[in-house]
Chains A and B, each alone.
Chain A
Amino acid sequence: MNPPRAAGPTLAQSLFRGRLNTALTLLVGGLLLWFLIQFVPWAIGHAVWSADLQACREARGQGACWGVVSEKWRLILFGRYPFEELWRPVVACLLMVAAVLAIARREWWKPWVFVSALFAIVFSVLLMLGGFAGLSEVPTERLGGLSLTLLLAIIGNIASLPLAVALALGRSSDLPLVRAVCTTFVEVVRGVPLVTVLFMASFMFPLFLPSGMNPDVLLRVGVGLTLFSAAYQAEVIRGGINSVPRGQIEAAQSLGMGYWLTQTKVVLPQAFRVVVPPLVNSFIALFKDTSLVTIVSLFELFGSLRLALADPEWRPFYVEGFLFVALVYWVFCSAMSRYARGLERDFASARR
Chain B
Amino acid sequence: MTLSLTNPKFRARLWQGLLVVVLLVCLWLLVANLQKNLAARGVELGFGFLSGPAGFDIAERLIAYSAESSYWMAYAVGILNTLRVAILGVLIATGLGLFVAIGALSINPLVAWLCRTYVEVLRNVPLLLQLFFWYLSLAALLPENDAPLTLLPGVFLSKGGLSFPWWVDGLWEVPELGPFGMVGGAAISPEFLALLGGLSIYTSAFIAEVIRAGILSVPKGQSEAAKALGFSGWQQLRLIILPQAMRVIVPPMTNQYLNLTKNSSLAVAIGYPELVSVATTTLNQTGHAVEAISLLMLVYLTLSLLTSWLMARFERASRLKERT
Contact = CB atoms under 8 A, between A and B. Distances in A.
Interface string B65-108: 00000000000000000000000000000000000000000111
A28 B110 contact: yes
Interface stretch (A57-65, A125-133, A219-227, A327-335): A327-335
Given A191-B300, A302-B128, A15 B33 contact: no
A195 B266 contact: yes
B265 A193 contact: yes
A17 B108 CA distance: 8
Interface size class of B (residues with CB under 8 A): 35 or more
Size band of the A side of the interface? Answer: 35 or more
A80 interface: no
A194 B266 CA distance: 9
A194 B125 CA distance: 17
Q: Most B CB atoms within 10 A — which of A192, A295, A306, A322?
A: A192
B127 interface: yes
Contacts of A206: 37
B40 A211 contact: yes
B263 A193 contact: yes
B20 A329 contact: no
Nearest to A332: B124
A194 B265 CA distance: 9
A289 interface: yes
Nearest to A334: B124
A347 interface: no
Chain B at the A interface: mostly helix, strand, loop or mixed?
Answer: helix
B293 A15 contact: no
A15 B124 contact: no
Given A29-B110, A178-B19, A203 B129 contact: no
B297 to A, nearest CB: 5
A28 B111 contact: yes
A204 interface: yes
Nearest to A22: B108
A318 B136 CA distance: 8
Contact of A15 (B30, B108, B128, B263): B108
Interface of A: 9, 11, 14-15, 17, 21, 24-25, 28-29, 32, 174-178, 181, 188, 190-196, 199-200, 203-204, 206-211, 284, 288-289, 291-292, 294-295, 302, 306, 318-319, 322, 325-326, 329-330, 333-334, 337
The 5 A-B residue pairs with the shortest CB-CB distance, nearest first, are A333-B124, A193-B262, A193-B265, A191-B304, A291-B126
